[in-house]
Each structure stands twice: as C-alpha cells, then as structure tokens.
C-alpha cells in the first residue's frame, strides 16, 4: 500500500513486477555475489542460510552466485557448478527452500575464461592475453572454434539443468571481465577470425550462447543478461557500443542487469548509484527492462531509480549482506504493511 512520510511517497519499490511467467512481489533483487563457500561446487548449509535469510527478509528475487558451466569456468575452486546432472538435485533443494520462504530465485551461469582461479590444467580466453602482469592468473590458451562450440553447449546444458532444478530465472554472465565479456571487449579480444576483428565478430559468441541457452530454457521463462556497460579504459567498451550489442539479443533476452568494469584491472570511479545511468541508457536505447545496481543503499535511492524510469528493478548487494531484512524493515519504517514471518511478529508487539 502506498505510504507518505516526510513528504515522500514510497510506492514503486513494493509494486509487483511481471515478465513472462515470472511475477515478483516487489522490485528488490539480491544480485549474484560470489561466496566462495562451495567445496565440491554444490550448495552447503551456508547457502541455505545465506539465501534463505534474504528470502525471509522480503527480497522479491534472489539470483544465486556465478555458477560455472564447466570446471575450468569457475572463478575459484569453491564456486558452485552446474556442468553435471549430479549437481541438479542439491540446487533443486535450494530453490524449493527459497520458494517456501516467499521469494523467487534465479541462477547466474558463468565461464570465468582467463579469470579462472580454480585448479585447471589450462585456462582459456578469446586471446592468449593475460588479465594482468601481476602473476595472479596463468596465461590463457586462445580458444579454438571447437572450444567455443563446446562452451556454448555447456551454457545450454547448464540452463537445462537449471530448469530441472526449478529456477525461475537464468542469468547469463556477460560482465565483470569473465569469458563472454572478454569476447565482447576490444581490450581482451584480439582474434583475427569470425569471433573477433570487428564489432560483429566480438558480439558473435554472446549471440551464440544466448541462442543455445534458449534451446534448453523455455520461451515462457525470462532470460536475464548481465553486462558491463563501461570498461573505464581507452579503446574499451562504452555504453553506446553495449547498447548495439544488446540490440542483437533482445529477441531472446528479457531483462538486462547493467554493471560495469572488470575486463582489465582498471578500477571504476565508485560513488553511490554510480551505475544507475548505465541502466537508464540501456533501458531507453534498447527498449528492454533493466536492473540497476551499484552502491545503492537506501530506499530513497531505489525509489528514485524506479519512479524516474531509470530501471525496472533494483539490486542491493552490500546492503542485503549487511541487513537481510532491509525490504521488510524499510517498508515498516514508512507505514507500509507487509507480511512478516509469523515467528518474528512478536518483535513488534
């Protein structure tokens, strides 16, 4: 119910959001954040506590951390994976648990490429070009056409397992300097074949992954794409170029989750809400719903982004780590009546 306090209306944050067969009870998203807590690459008790707490706290959508589509696609040895049928059942238990607590749940599928920190005989990238010169990662092997086809198929297979596990959303990770982002950026893709050379070549891998995922992820279910709209380095990705890339996949992608940086060690200029303008630009240029993210810490910031049509959903990362009950507590402060867990209602008597 709309509330007015101190001259401000708080309406949009707690409105439902629907796309295809997904209906969220509010516009607050928990974005994928690596927990590095999955030995064996399957969820542990920690994951049930971690994601369950945010579901209990009122988030509309929870997106599970970057999950490797192949073992050498993990960011670390302790990241989740979905390259094997044996990994489906543990994730299905997690989705059932989150659903039982009133939230929707998605999973982010990823290949780390040259930023693989997991144990692997070789790591791969679009080009045999290291992420940095500090020795953090070994030199990657340039992927052949067969390698590319194999990884594309792995994304599709992982999406099929995600469907069997009961996820409401699949998000393809095309941001933060991981493999898809490495293909997209001219700073990391120096190929001289059909997967490089120019804009069309650099965007080809993403298009093939999206199409492949759609062969396993039904049309009636929403597909998200996370992107880095800005590389913060000369000659790198810009929001205008990213919009051109997104235009080529909007037939299959339903929501774009807009971030920035990560393809080089150059740090972004960070300040509250620093990535919201990227979400707004992509939303307008591509005519696609977007998720804004990036040091958004107050309900006022969430409401500003939504009410000014800068984004359709807002992701809170650090704030939900600090306070799993942010959605419910912020509503209560403003007189918005939301159902609290029955076990906790005594706190307000």
Q: What pTM was computed for the model?
A: 0.96
Q: Which two tokens stand for residue 180?
A: 């898809």
User: What pLDDT is stored for residue 2 in this prediction?
Assistant: 53
**Residue 344: predicted pLDDT:** 93
Q: Where do the domains of the chain lie, and which CATH numbers do they carry?
A: 16-339 (3.20.20.70)
CA angle 34, 316, 301 (to 5 degrees): 155
Distance CA 122, CA 116 (A): 9
Q: Which residues contact 129 (CB under 8 A, 6 or more apart)?
A: 114, 140, 188, 190
pLDDT along the chain (349 residues), means of 10: 54 95 98 97 98 98 98 98 98 98 98 97 97 91 98 98 98 98 98 95 98 98 98 96 97 98 94 97 98 97 97 98 97 91 90
Our measurement of the distance from residue 112's CA atom to the centroid of its chain's CA atoms, rounded to an integer in Å, reads 14
| Rounded Cα distance, 218 and 88, in Å | 17
Contacts of residue 238, Cβ cutoff 8 Å, sequence gap at least 6: 229, 230, 231
pLDDT at residue number 263 = 96
Determine the distance from the C-alpha atom of residue 311 to the mean position of all C-alpha atoms in its chain, rounded to a whole number.
Answer: 15
Which one-letter DSSP state was computed for residue 256?
A: E
């Amino acid at each position: 119910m709309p509330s007015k306090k101190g001259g401000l209306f708080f309406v949009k944050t707690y409105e439902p959001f629907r796309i295809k067969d997904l209906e969220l009870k509010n516009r607050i998203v928990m974005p994928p954040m690596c927990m590095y807590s999955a030995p064996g690459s399957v969820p542990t008790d920690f994951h049930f506590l971690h994601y369950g707490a945010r579901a209990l706290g009122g988030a509309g959508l929870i997106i599970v951390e970057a999950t490797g589509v192949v073992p050498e696609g993990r960011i670390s040895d302790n990241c989740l994976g979905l390259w094997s049928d044996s990994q489906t059942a543990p994730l299905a238990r997690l989705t059932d648990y989150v659903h039982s607590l009133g939230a929707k749940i998605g999973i982010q599928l990823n290949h780390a490429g040259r930023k693989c920190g997991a144990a692997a005989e070789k790591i791969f990238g679009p080009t045999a070009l290291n992420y940095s010169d500090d020795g953090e990662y070994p030199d990657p092997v340039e992927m052949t056409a067969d390698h590319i086809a194999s990884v594309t198929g792995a994304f599709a297979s992982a999406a099929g397992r995600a469907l069997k596990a009961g996820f409401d959303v699949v998000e393809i990770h095309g941001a933060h300097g991981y493999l898809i982002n490495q293909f997209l950026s001219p700073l990391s893709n120096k190929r001289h074949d059909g997967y490089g050379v120019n804009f069309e070549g650099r965007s080809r891998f993403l298009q093939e992954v999206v199409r492949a995922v759609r062969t396993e992820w039904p049309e009636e279910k929403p597909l998200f794409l996370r992107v880095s709209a800005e590389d913060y380095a000369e000659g790198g990705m810009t929001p205008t170029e990213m919009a051109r890339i997104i235009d080529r996949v909007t037939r299959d992608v339903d929501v774009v989750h807009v971030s920035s940086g990560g393809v080089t060690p150059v740090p972004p200029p960070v300040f509250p809400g620093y990535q919201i303008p990227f979400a707004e630009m992509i939303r307008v240029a591509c005519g696609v719903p977007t998720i804004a993210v990036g040091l958004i810490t107050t309900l006022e910031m969430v409401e500003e982004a939504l009410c000014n049509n800068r984004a359709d959903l807002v992701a809170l990362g650090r704030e939900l780590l600090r306070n799993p009950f942010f959605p419910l507590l912020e509503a209560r402060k403003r007189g918005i009546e939301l159902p609290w867990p029955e076990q906790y209602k005594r706190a307000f008597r």
